[in-house]
């Protein structure tokens, strides 16, 4: 009955407490309540950054109630049924107290709990009053217990009713100081570092990694609240806090600590959990596709958000899996399952389909979200440029790293740092002899290359040659990997595709990176090559580089779906021209492609495979068609694409089927042609 609440599975400042079921026995409920009280008392050892006094008073009252409950357990073997009402109320209140204590001690939420300290103090007051209510209705006269125990109950009731549970004065002062600093950001005034440190000391944030956790939490909350039109004040406050904590992370903390051992431990635990998972449990029961945004219904079953919303919009009010009528259509995000799905996809090379809600989260970052957040970022940009220009080698490296972190997901941060002139200084650091500085600089440029103006600034400052230099001679394989990805984003501009193709080292460097054992390197190189193929002149350059045999070998050997799909995309594009078709056919690829079409699990991969087969038929002539007709499994795979493939795959599969049928009909008298299907089963699709 007792479940440990999880900080990762419950939104902060929410309390999903439930009443115990009506049929529970009094003794079972009592034992559960004592266990829950012990769980609450375990929070004494944790750090409370806010509401310390209220937490201490709560622990004192819970300890007293536990004494009372333990005496009942030890002295009364058969509890009367009327005690269930009281114990149920206490159980519900204990759940709420545990959630509140968890929020006050949750890692990474200290800044938000500080500005919410008044609300939290009021919640302490409410839940403690709930204890009095539960004890009030306890039938003391029906239970044989000591007078001391009865006196203790009456004392608890009096004390909890008198307790004020006001906000902590130290919390109120820290909030006041914080609001003043955020006003300074709005006005463009640099805050006093001493005042900032005083607030951080109050919250117990004493290192870069702790500050970074605060930023990550605030970012996730902003993403959740962005679509909530009713609470813009809360959203602005979150954005202002985000600006404050980002500023603190860069300016106040000189050293970056990663706690790598702890992170590695987390990863290994997740991987261990994945070993016992049935992949079908990660798929939506409606769409049968991997879920991107799993949500749980009141029936307890989980579906992908977009699929279940479509179900509801069709007028259904039942659980699709069980058919039972739903008591509520509320959707509860299943964050634990979402994390497992993302981990499974990452470990198995499966592209994660991003939900539409996530796309909105990305678009929200076009703006800072608040005046304070905007002012903090602009001030921070000036600070970082100063470090890039005038700092020591270590300070330059940290500045490049901070830019890398700031621009990873925020469009506004990218725009602000591009406008402030960071790109020319980052380009100079690509020639650094320090491997970390070079890696952080190219990673930062990768993020800035996603900004439209950032692409122009990089090219205007002769950045292409420097990026290709890192691609070919980067000091770390990670730097080469980031350089390939940067070329991919730069190649989204036609003029840049021409310039990259004309650089004799660029395509050669990308092809060489495909040979690397690291699958991230392979993937970045493949997508960059695919981007360059949009420019027709790059076709012959890629053929001359020997990319065709390399990709065909990758198709034979790789078990990663993403690498197979990317390789098929490149080969399908090359096959559209006769010289590409010739290069592919010379390597005897037909049987391989038919086998991939039959076994590939990716709809996109199958689409590219069908596209390539059609191009080979068109450009390769009757010889190719004659060989395809003799492959027994091909026709079944093509017919499956008519109903199961993408719209483009369906059309192209239909075209191949027509070509094969026409060829067979024209050559039916020839004994050298083995039919794929009996004549009477031929289906004319056009």
Give one DSSP letter per residue of 431-494, joined into a string: G-S-HHHHHHHHHHHHHHTTSHHHHHHHHHTTHHHHHHHHHHH-SSHHHHHHHHHHHHHHTTSH
| Alpha helix segments (H runs only) across 491-546 | 494-502, 506-514, 519-532, 538-544
* pLDDT score recorded for residue 51: 94
**Segment 123-151, tens digit of pLDDT:** 999 999 888 888 888 888 788 778 888 88
- pLDDT surpasses 90 at 10: no
Side by side, the strands of the sheet bearing 302-304 are 302-304, 294-296, 332-333
Query: Could you please report the per-residue DSSP string of 375-391?
Result: HHHHHHHHHHHHHHHHS
Q: What is the pTM of this model?
A: 0.80
Instruction: Please tell me the predicted confidence (pLDDT) of residue 414.
Output: 95
In this prediction, residues 308-316 reach a mean pLDDT of 84
Name every residue whose Cβ is closer than 8 Å to that of residue 303 and which is 6 or more positions away in sequence.
284, 285, 286, 291, 294, 295, 297, 311, 320
* Angstrom distances, CA of residue 193 to CA of 196, 203, 248, 253, 597: 5, 15, 9, 11, 62
Q: Is the pLDDT of residue 376 over 80?
A: yes
CA separation for the pair 309, 304 (Å, rounded): 9
Q: State the Cα–Cα distance between residues 365 and 231, nearest whole angstrom.
A: 18
pLDDT at 58 over 50: yes
- Which of 328-332, 543-547, 604-608, 682-686 has the weakest average pLDDT? 682-686
Structure tokens, 629: 């007709």
pLDDT at residue 217, rounded to an integer: 92
The whole-number average pLDDT for the span 406-426 is 94
Domain boundaries in the chain? 26-167, 169-256+362-440, 291-349, 564-667
pLDDT at residue 399 greater than cutoff 50: yes
Residues 489, 493: Cα–Cα separation, whole Å: 8
Q: 3-class SS at 290?
A: strand
pLDDT tens digits for range 473-485 = 999 999 999 999 9
CB atoms within 10 A of CB 100: 23
3-class state of residue 303 by DSSP: strand
Token pair belonging to 200: 């951080």
- Cα 112 to chain centroid distance, Å, stands at 21
Q: How far apart are CA 443 and CA 481, in angstroms?
A: 9
Nearest Cα residue to 508 out of 482, 478, 535, 487 = 487
pLDDT of residue 310: 85
> What percentage of the chain has pLDDT greater than the value 90?
58
| Count of Cβ atoms closer than 10 Å to residue 98 Cβ | 23
Report the alpha-carbon angle 279-281-286, nearest 5: 115
Average pLDDT of the chain is 86
The C-alpha atoms of residue 676 and residue 327 are separated, in whole angstroms, by 54
- The Cα–Cα gap between 523 and 514 comes to 8
Compute the average pLDDT of residues 408-420. Answer: 93
**Which of these ranges, 10-24, 180-194, 264-278, 522-536, has the smallest mean pLDDT?**
264-278
- CATH topology classification for 291-349: Herpes Virus-1 (3.30.40)
Contact 195, 181 (CB under 8 A): yes
Scanning the structure block, which residue is given the tokens 């009443």?
Answer: 19
Task: Give residue 187's pLDDT.
Answer: 95
Most confident of 289-293, 522-526, 558-562, 675-679: 522-526
Q: Which residue has the tokens 């079921």?
A: 21
CB-based contacts of 14: which residues, under 8 Å, 6+ apart? 99
Q: Interior CA angle at 134 toward 132 and 135, to 5°?
A: 65
Model confidence at 525, pLDDT cuts 50, 70, 90, reads very high
Highest averaged pLDDT of the listed ranges 342-356, 427-441, 546-560: 427-441
- What tokens were used for 196? 């900032």
- Strand intervals (E) in 302-404: 302-304, 332-333
Percentage of residues of the chain with pLDDT beyond 70 = 90
Q: Is the pLDDT of residue 257 over 90?
A: no
Question: In the structure, what pLDDT confidence band is assigned to residue 386 with cuts at 50, 70 and 90?
Answer: very high
Q: What's the confidence (pLDDT) of residue 685? A: 33
**Is residue 352 very low, low, confident or very high in pLDDT (cuts 50, 70, 90)?**
low
| pLDDT tens track for 166-179 | 899 999 999 999 99
């Amino acid at each position: 009955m007792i479940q440990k609440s999880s900080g990762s599975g419950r939104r902060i400042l929410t309390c999903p407490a439930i009443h115990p079921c009506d049929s529970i026995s009094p003794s079972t409920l009592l034992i559960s309540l004592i266990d829950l009280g012990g769980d609450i008392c375990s929070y004494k050892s944790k750090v409370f950054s806010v509401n310390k006094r209220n937490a201490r008073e709560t622990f004192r009252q819970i300890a007293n109630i536990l004494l009372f409950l333990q005496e009942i357990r030890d002295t009364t073997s058969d509890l009367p049924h009327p005690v269930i009402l009281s114990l149920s109320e206490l159980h519900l209140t204990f759940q709420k107290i545990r959630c509140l204590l968890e929020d006050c001690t949750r890692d990474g939420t200290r800044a938000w709990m500080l500005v919410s300290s008044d609300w939290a103090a009021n919640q302490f007051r409410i839940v403690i009053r709930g204890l009095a209510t539960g004890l009030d209705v306890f039938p003391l006269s029906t239970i044989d217990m000591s007078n001391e125990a009865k006196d203790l109950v009456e004392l608890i009731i009096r004390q909890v009713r008198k307790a004020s549970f006001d906000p902590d004065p130290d919390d109120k002062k820290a909030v006041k100081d914080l609001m003043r600093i955020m006003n300074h950001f709005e006005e463009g005034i640099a805050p006093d570092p001493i005042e900032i440190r005083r607030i951080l000391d109050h919250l117990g944030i004493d290192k870069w990694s702790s500050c970074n956790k605060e930023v990550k939490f605030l970012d996730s909350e902003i993403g959740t609240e962005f679509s909530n039109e009713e609470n813009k004040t809360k959203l602005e406050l979150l954005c202002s806090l985000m600006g404050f904590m980002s500023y603190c992370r860069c300016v106040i903390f000189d050293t970056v600590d990663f706690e790598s051992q702890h992170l590695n431990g987390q990863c290994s635990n997740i991987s261990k959990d994945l070993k016992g998972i049935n992949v079908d449990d990660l798929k939506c029961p409606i769409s049968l596709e991997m879920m991107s945004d799993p949500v749980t219904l009141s029936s307890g079953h989980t579906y992908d958000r977009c699929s279940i919303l479509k179900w509801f919009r069709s007028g259904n009010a039942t659980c699709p899996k069980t058919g039972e009528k739903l008591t509520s259509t509320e959707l509860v995000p299943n964050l634990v399952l979402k994390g497992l799905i993302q981990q499974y996809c990452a470990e198995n090379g499966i592209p994660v389909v991003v939900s539409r809600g996530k796309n909105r989260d990305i678009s929200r970052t076009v703006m800072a979200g608040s005046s304070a957040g905007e002012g903090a970022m602009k001030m921070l940009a000036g600070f970082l440029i100063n470090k890039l220009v005038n700092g020591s080698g270590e300070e330059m490296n940290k500045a490049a790293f901070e830019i890398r972190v700031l621009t990873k997901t925020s469009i506004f941060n990218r725009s602000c740092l591009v406008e402030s002139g960071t790109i020319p200084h980052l380009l100079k650091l690509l020639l650094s002899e320090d491997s970390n500085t070079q890696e952080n600089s190219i990673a930062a440029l990768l993020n800035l290359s996603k900004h439209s103006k950032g692409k122009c600034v990089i090219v205007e400052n002769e950045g292409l040659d420097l990026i290709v230099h890192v691609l070919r001679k980067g000091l770390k394989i990670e730097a080469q990997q980031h350089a390939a990805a940067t070329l991919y984003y730069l190649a989204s501009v036609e003029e840049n595709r021409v310039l990259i193709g004309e650089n004799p080292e660029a395509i050669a460097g990308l092809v060489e990176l495909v040979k690397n054992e690291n699958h991230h390197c392979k993937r970045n190189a493949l997508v960059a090559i695919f981007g360059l193929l949009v420019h027709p002149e790059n076709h012959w350059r890629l053929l001359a580089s020997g990319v065709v045999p390399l990709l065909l070998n990758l198709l034979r050997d790789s078990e990663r779906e993403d690498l197979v799909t990317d390789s098929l995309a490149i080969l399908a594009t090359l096959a559209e021209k006769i010289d590409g078709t010739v290069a592919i056919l010379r390597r005897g690829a037909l049987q391989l492609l038919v086998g991939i079409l039959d076994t590939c699990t990716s709809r996109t991969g199958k689409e590219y495979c069908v596209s390539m087969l059609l191009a080979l038929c068109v450009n390769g002539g009757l010889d190719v068609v004659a060989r395809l007709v003799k492959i027994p499994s091909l026709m079944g795979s093509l017919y499956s694409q008519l109903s199961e493939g993408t719209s483009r795959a369906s059309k192209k599969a239909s075209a191949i089927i027509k070509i094969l049928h026409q060829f067979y009909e024209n050559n039916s008298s020839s004994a050298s042609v083995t039919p794929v299907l009996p004549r009477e089963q031929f289906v004319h699709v056009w």
